[in-house]
Structure formats: C-alpha cells, structure tokens
Structure 1
C-alpha cells in the first residue's frame, strides 16, 4: 500500500463530473490497483475513488487514474508532504464475535438450551464426509446431530441433511434426529428444514454467554 499526503485538487470525468478544490488530503494506492482520496473528517469513506481494474499514470504534478470505461480521476498535486509504501502481507480476514466455532463451544457448554434432558456426546463428531458440529442425546436418549451457523441458510440445511443420511446408516446411532441452530435463520431455510423433519433453534449469543439483556425490567 502506498500512502501519499499531498495538497491537491481532484477532477472526476465520467458519467458525471465532480471537482474537489485544492486542499490537504490523503491518497491511498492499494495493491489491488484502487486509488482513493480521503479527508481528515469523513471517517472511512473516501471523497472520491476509482475501483479496480484501473491504472495510474504519473506525470510531474499530475496523476491520472483511468479505468476501461474511460472514466478518469485527474489529481493535480501542488505539494507532496509524505510518500511511503508498505507491504501489508496476506489478509487473514475479519474475525467476528460469535463465529461458528465460538457458538459451538457455548452451545456445548449449555446443551440444555436445546431442551430439558439433553446431554453432550461430542463436539466435532467425525463422519466420512466431515465433522458434525455437535452430537447430543435428547431426554429420551435418542441421538441428535446439531449443525451450527451464525446465519442459517439453505446450504446449511443441505449440509445437515447429508450428515443425517449418513449417520442414519449406522445401526448403533439410528434413528438420528437433526437440529439446525443459528443466530438468524432465513425463512426459506426454516421451511426446508421443517419439511425434512429438522428442528430449527434460534441461538441468543448474549444469553449463551450469560449476559443480561440491556433493558429495563420491573423486577
């Protein structure tokens, strides 16, 4: 990534025209080819930008960023106060609070969330096509396979269906029921799950962590 702090003006020519008058700004030139112009008071949002694929042509005092559609950002530089390049390396991605692994851990610790009498058999229960998030026993001793998602969609239901088809071939486990658990379950996924005899459970992440709801109560 290249960081340039400069006194500059910017003209955009494309589907419309826009002009940024002369001022001190931060220019970001990223490895993906994108160029964005930032001020000191707009949080993360750039004043103007050009998304890749685009290319930067640097002439003395003038930078031109152009894309295949012929749109242009023309940056006129009056003074460059800082110019540095930094190799950031691979991006591991955003790790969100409440990812599936953490939900799995919390639900395993509080397995009775699924119902009275439920007991944990094992997390990451192995099968020939991958591990089931949680294997449990219900109050009657029956086997229950639990698939956990942050956002429950049709793909997750299909995944659990494949696990159930395989697990129910094992006479030591069969019959195995399914539970599809997520913080949010989309209506289409719920409909498909229930049509296949899979129970849907909406998980309250804060409740699993033992956090009281932040609201007024009478007592």
Structure 2
C-alpha cells in the first residue's frame, strides 16, 4: 500500500472513530427512575392541610389484621412524599417466581433467563390520612393521568419489581379470566416497569395486560 492509500485509510478510520464517539455521546442515558430505590412524588388528589402516610404492605393471608408494613413514608400537608422502597431483607420472606410451567386451566407460561431467579412486586400501596387516623385505600396505584379507578384499554400502571439477580422474563400466560404478557429485563435491585391494559371488562377490571421494562418512564401520577 502506498503512502497516499495509507493516509486515506488513516483518515477514514479517524472519521469512523469520531462518528462512533458522537453516536455514543448522543445515546440517551438510562432513566434513573427505572432503578431508583426511592419514590419522590405527590398525591394529586390530596386534601391540602391534612397529613398522611403511604405504605408498602404485604398481605400474607386474606385477613387484613395479618398485614405487614414493609415500608412507609409521611405525606405532608401538600401531598408530597418520599418513599424508600423495602430492603432486600424486608422482601426476602415474600419472594416468588413467575409461572414457568404449564398451569391447570391456562395456556402458555413464562420463560426466565435464570430459571431459579425470584422477585417481589409492588403494584399497590396503602394510603392513610393520619390527621383523621383513617385508611383511605389499600389499593392505591401509580397510573396514567386519565385513569379514574376503572381500567379501560390504554390505561397503564407503574409497578416496581425487586430481584437479587439480573435476568429477563418473557412469554404469555392466558387463563379464563385474565391474560398477561411479560417482556422484562430486570436489573439487580428495584425496577420500575409498566403494565399496559389491552382489554378490561365492563366493571373496569383488567382482562388482558402487557408488562414491559421501558427505556424511560411514561408520565404518571399517584
């Protein structure tokens, strides 16, 4: 190869490297909200001047008296809160696996890249008014702005999944009263995921939904 060819090749390589560097610079940074262990937000329907509490609660049985509060945060007079999600030790007794084998009465199942990986999901919170010492609801959710308490097609909810092992979960489980599709790429620790409603019944109960790991969280409210 002559000197001219070498010079051209070197120039082409430098341009390629520069282009790659610029592409890397332009690539969006991971959304920190996706793996945050703290949720800082505001209850949009909060009654100004009252105080409250938002809690992550586990219900080991159907008896509410057996409920275990895993984490909680005060809500100030304007509805603001900063909730630190439960620790690994808090959720350890309640870890479980996705349905990775056929289930009676259903079709399909989920596939985990690590078959023995376990997880814990937070999809609802207990909301209390501590000024009046009253539980307002035990199924408070983080959702799209237009959600009114009854699910319709297109509604979505932000759920949080804890795992100690990075793994993926894919597949669809279809049962007589519900169908769920998972497309998850879970990191170690807490992961914010989005459940989108594909269909719901007349009473506003979800019947078909898809849960995904987004690249950024959509607009949502508590």
- Between 1 and 2, higher relative CO (CA 8 Å, sep ≥ 6) is seen in 2
| Higher Rg of the two aligned structures | 1
TM-score scaled to structure 1, two decimals?
Answer: 0.28
